[in-house]
Amino acid sequence: MDPSGPGGSLPPRLLVFECTNDCTDLTSASFLSAVGKQTEVLLRVSMVGPESGSADTLRDVHGWAMKLHTDQGNLESTSTMAANSHRT
Q: Is residue 4 part of a domain?
A: no
Q: Is residue 1 part of a domain?
A: no
Q: What is the pLDDT of residues 12-44, one digit of tens each?
A: 788 999 999 999 999 999 999 999 999 999 988
CATH number for the domain harbouring residue 31: 2.40.470.10
Q: How confident is the model at residue 45 (pLDDT cuts 50, 70, 90)?
A: confident
What's the structural domain count of the chain?
A: 1
H helix or E strand, kind and range, residue 63: strand 59-70
Residues 66-79, mean pLDDT to the nearest whole number:
92
What is the C-alpha separation between 46 and 2, in angstroms, rounded? 9
Q: Which residue has the higher pLDDT, 46 or 55?
A: 46
Per-chain mean pLDDT for the chain: 77
pTM for this model (two decimals): 0.61
Helices assigned H by DSSP within the chain: none
